[in-house]
Amino acid sequence: MRANSLPGGRVRLSFEPVEPDPALAEMSVEEAQAVLTVFHAAVLSERPEIRIIPPSRLRLLDEVDGKGWERHLRERFLSRFGGALLSLPETWEHSRLYQALKLSPRYMGAGVREAAAELFSSPVFLASVCLSVVVYFGAWLNPEPLFSKAFAVTLTAALALTVGMLEVANLALACLRLYRESEAARTQKELDAASEHFGKSVGGTMLRVMVMVASMGVAKTAPTVPHGGLGALLGSPMHAVEGGLAVGAAATATVVADGSLILSGVALGEVATHVCGGMALCATMNGGAGGSGSSAGLSTRYGPPHTRANPPHNEAIEKDLASREATEHSRLRKNKAQVDAKDSPLLDPKPVGGTRFRRPDASSVRPDGVRHNTNYVSNLRDLKRELEAFEAMRRADPKAIHELYLLDGTLVRRYVPAGVKFP
């Protein structure tokens, strides 16, 4: 990739063709389930009155007033990306675009079909993809799409650096074709044809880009550039700006017909300082939310470093234990085997893979005598394993509180015993 300075404080990013990563051609059901777990947790963190059915197949339920979560999603997308160029229906469930997207996985390739079906089985995720089409990809109707909202500018730069402009442009065109054909459909056969055209054009990389845009519609902050993107799901960026790239609040982005990206209000050689928000899909490849892998300055007040290769994980544990100590928790334990009130090891009655006991990242006893165990997830690839560990800890000690968090503080899962008050 070449980065050339232009008059007026602008920068042109030109992307050289690169060989596609064969690992991105497919997407597993496990990856899709990890996305949905974190995605729903991000929605819940802002709207706790919305309920989700646990544990394996998460589904968002309507609020008492009906479809309140749809209004919430719409507000989030519009506030981040700006106004929509395409029409927004009152509700997505009965829109032709929604129905066509829901049907599309059946026409996708074998390497992504099951993962897409898992993702699109979630009404809230599918509604977020619809919003992505009309709010973000709708801007690609222009010959040279222009983005002026800082969040959309940063996202476009992150997508370009992660997969290149060609892949993003192809997905945008596929989304716009789906929108036009589904809106024009008057029969089920015509709607199926629109779904088939879209499904056959979507591969693993495109599906991941769709996940990123839909996810960032509900995330708390914009993705970090250049190490942003799908993080653990997508891998290292295909392109990079030497020294990094910082996007300012007054930035704009223009996608030029020749496949390059012109940015204003950016600074080359500076890494953006903001960290990924609620979806935690960024900066996880190095083991944490922006972690560098250095072992310098590791806190050891509550025990040896959890791992020297992942300072953010260690610091999250130390901060957690410090807050517990401040609220008079006792028996503070860091990365030690799960025990009962008599310090006897607690064993999983149904061990997975031969693992009979677990080591909670942080463990303590509340002033009321209730044990409280917490684990943290650094890398989204490890989410399935961490969920298994969570269930094992719960089985071993059903009288304790158990929690699982992402490093940015997003709650993934919580178990509170019957009769125990929390917090």
Instruction: Say which CATH number the domain at 402 has.
Output: 3.40.1350
Q: Do 205 and 339 share a domain, yes or no? A: no
Of 252, 268, 284, which residue constitutes the final position of a domain? 268
Band (pLDDT 50/70/90 cuts) for residue 228 is very low
CA 89 to chain centre: 25
Q: Which residues contact residue 72 at a Cβ distance below 8 angstroms, ignoring those fewer than 6 apart?
A: 43, 46, 47
Q: Do 315 and 259 share a domain, yes or no? A: no
Q: In the chain, how many domains are there?
A: 2
Q: Which residues contact residue 38 at a Cβ distance below 8 angstroms, ignoring those fewer than 6 apart?
A: 279, 280, 281, 380, 383, 406, 410, 412
- Note whether 43 and 69 are within 8 A (CB): yes
Band (pLDDT 50/70/90 cuts) for residue 134 is very high
Q: Do 324 and 262 share a domain, yes or no? A: no
243 is a domain residue: yes
391 is a domain residue: yes
> How far apart are the C-alpha atoms of 281 and 267, rounded to whole Å?
23
Would you say residue 379 has pLDDT above 70? yes
Cut 0.75: pTM above it: no
Band (pLDDT 50/70/90 cuts) for residue 148 is confident
Neighbouring CB atoms inside 10 A of 170's CB total 18
Q: What pLDDT score was predicted for residue 63?
A: 41
Q: What pLDDT score was predicted for residue 248?
A: 64
Would you say residue 400 has pLDDT above 90? yes
Q: Do 97 and 224 share a domain, yes or no? A: yes
Would you say residue 319 has pLDDT above 80? yes
Neighbouring CB atoms inside 10 A of 341's CB total 12
140 is a domain residue: yes
Q: What pLDDT score was predicted for residue 224?
A: 47
222 is a domain residue: yes
Of 268, 303, 335, which residue constitutes the final position of a domain? 268
Would you say residue 57 has pLDDT above 70? no
Would you say residue 102 has pLDDT above 70? yes
Q: Do 14 and 117 share a domain, yes or no? A: yes
186 is a domain residue: yes
- Mean pLDDT, the chain, whole residue set: 79
Would you say residue 358 has pLDDT above 60? yes
Higher per-residue confidence, 358 vs 266: 358
273 is a domain residue: no
Using N-to-C axis directions, what is the helix angle for 150-163 and 204-216, rounded to 10°?
A: 160
Q: Which residues contact residue 172 at a Cβ distance below 8 angstroms, ignoring those fewer than 6 apart?
A: 137, 140, 145
Q: Find the mean pLDDT for residues 177-195.
A: 95
Q: Which residues contact residue 305 at a Cβ distance below 8 angstroms, ignoring those fewer than 6 apart?
A: 295, 298, 314
422 is a domain residue: no
Q: Do 255 and 355 share a domain, yes or no? A: no
Q: Do 191 and 104 share a domain, yes or no? A: yes
Q: Do 240 and 116 share a domain, yes or no? A: yes
- Note whether 413 and 405 are within 8 A (CB): no
Q: Write out the residue range of the structural domain in which residue 61 sits.
A: 2-268
Q: In the numeric block, which tokens belong to residue 32? A: 């899709």
Q: Do 72 and 148 share a domain, yes or no? A: yes
Lowest mean pLDDT among 173-182, 269-278, 377-386: 269-278
Of 233, 268, 303, which residue constitutes the final position of a domain? 268
Q: Do 217 and 70 share a domain, yes or no? A: yes
Higher per-residue confidence, 267 vs 157: 157
CA proximity to 131, closest of 211, 214, 61, 212: 214
Please confirm whether the linkage preceding 226 is cis (ω < 30° from 0).
yes
Largest Cα–Cα separation, the chain? 71
- Note whether 80 and 216 are within 8 A (CB): yes
Q: What pLDDT score was predicted for residue 289?
A: 34
Higher per-residue confidence, 79 vs 67: 79
> How far apart are the C-alpha atoms of 304 and 359, rounded to whole Å?
14
Determine the straight-line distance between the first and last CA of the chain, rounded to whole angstroms.
50
